[in-house]
């Protein structure tokens, strides 16, 4: 039997990505055209067409402005999880500021969704060797799992020496790292984002199949609502690397995701990873 993988969506708008932070001041966010609601609605339709439930790591900032969208996510049977409040990298915050960001987002999401928020994903996978204290704060604020570590070498994030499979990073807190494929003594990115848009679809599918078949592991896949929106406004004045990373193959992403939904089995993060490990842990204590 093929493993069930976890489909995840990081709910943020195009102007909130970390790479655009030097070009778009946070104070301007309210002035810009939001496209996240229409894009998430398209994602909900796509998931429904493939009878798939997913996890939506949602910004508190977005939830406050689109409460009906949050309720639609929950009503469709998807897991609502936290992406923090204002898309600030955890590595840029003090422990106190990080706690405030987590608590604010958790309250907003729980009030709107009507269910406990168990999961969190740091913007830009910004938990690494320099801020491992973030796991303590996550546990203290009532989260049960994190999906914030990407075990690759990258110029903006990554902890390549960390475990590649889920592990309890603190008592009661499961870290579910972003999926990589171990090949040629390196961890290769195989779980979505810009790599999924850049690589041929067949290569992405092959890497996920290897993780499922040869390692017998469930994978984590992620993407953003703006990645299915080729008509989004173009941000002016950005550097060439950021322009390429953000805009490459946007017109192909929705079709590729539809193929993924057909080619693999998918579920929610809490059901694929958290609940089985909590059950096994409880059984081991008796």
pLDDT digits 0-9 by tens, 155-169: 566 677 889 999 999
Distance CA 13, CA 36 (A): 5
pTM score of the predicted model? 0.95
Query: 176 pLDDT exceeds 60?
Result: yes
Query: 99 pLDDT exceeds 60?
Result: yes
DSSP string, 227-253: GG-TTSPPPTT--HHHHHHHHTTHHHH
Show me where the domains of the chain are located.
5-284
Task: Calculate Rg over the CA atoms of the chain.
Answer: 18
Question: Which phi and psi angles does 188 have, rounded to 5°?
Answer: -100, 135
Q: Does 3.40.50.800 match the CATH number of domain 5-284?
A: no
Q: What pLDDT is stored for residue 191 in this prediction?
A: 87
207-258 pLDDT, tens per residue?
A: 999 999 999 999 999 999 999 999 999 999 999 989 998 999 999 999 999 9
Q: What pLDDT is stored for residue 73 in this prediction?
A: 98
Query: 104 pLDDT exceeds 70?
Result: yes
Q: Greater confidence, 22 or 118?
A: 118
- The β-bridge partners of 187 are 182
DSSP string, 123-171: GGG---GGGTHHHHHHHHTT--EE-----S--SS---TTS-SS-EEEET
């Amino acid at each position: 039997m093929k493993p069930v993988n976890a489909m995840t969506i990081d709910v943020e708008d195009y102007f909130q990505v970390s790479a655009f932070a030097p070009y778009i001041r946070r104070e301007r966010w309210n002035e810009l055209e939001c496209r996240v609601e229409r894009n998430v609605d398209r994602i909900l339709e796509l998931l429904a067409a493939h009878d798939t439930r997913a996890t939506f790591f949602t910004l508190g900032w977005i939830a406050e402005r689109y409460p009906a969208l949050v309720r639609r996510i929950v009503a469709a049977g998807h897991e609502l999880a936290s992406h923090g409040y204002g898309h600030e990298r955890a590595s840029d915050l003090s422990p106190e500021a990080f706690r405030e960001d987590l608590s604010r987002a958790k309250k907003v999401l729980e009030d709107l969704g009507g269910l406990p928020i168990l999961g969190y994903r740091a913007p830009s996978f910004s938990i690494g060797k320099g801020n491992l204290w973030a796991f303590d704060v996550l546990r203290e604020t009532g989260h049960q799992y994190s999906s914030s570590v990407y075990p690759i070498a990258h110029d903006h994030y990554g902890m390549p020496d960390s475990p590649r499979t889920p592990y309890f990073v603190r008592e009661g807190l499961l870290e579910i790292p972003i999926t990589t494929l171990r090949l040629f003594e390196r961890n290769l990115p195989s779980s979505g984002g810009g790599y999924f848009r850049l690589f041929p679809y067949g290569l992405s599918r092959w890497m996920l199949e290897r993780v499922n078949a040869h390692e017998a592991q469930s994978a984590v896949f992620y993407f953003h609502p703006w990645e299915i929106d080729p008509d989004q406004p173009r941000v002016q004045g950005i550097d060439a690397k950021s322009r390429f990373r953000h805009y490459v193959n946007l017109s192909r992403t929705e079709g590729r995701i539809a193929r993924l939904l057909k080619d693999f089995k998918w579920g929610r993060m809490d059901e694929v990873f958290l609940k089985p490990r909590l059950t096994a842990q409880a059984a081991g204590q008796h």
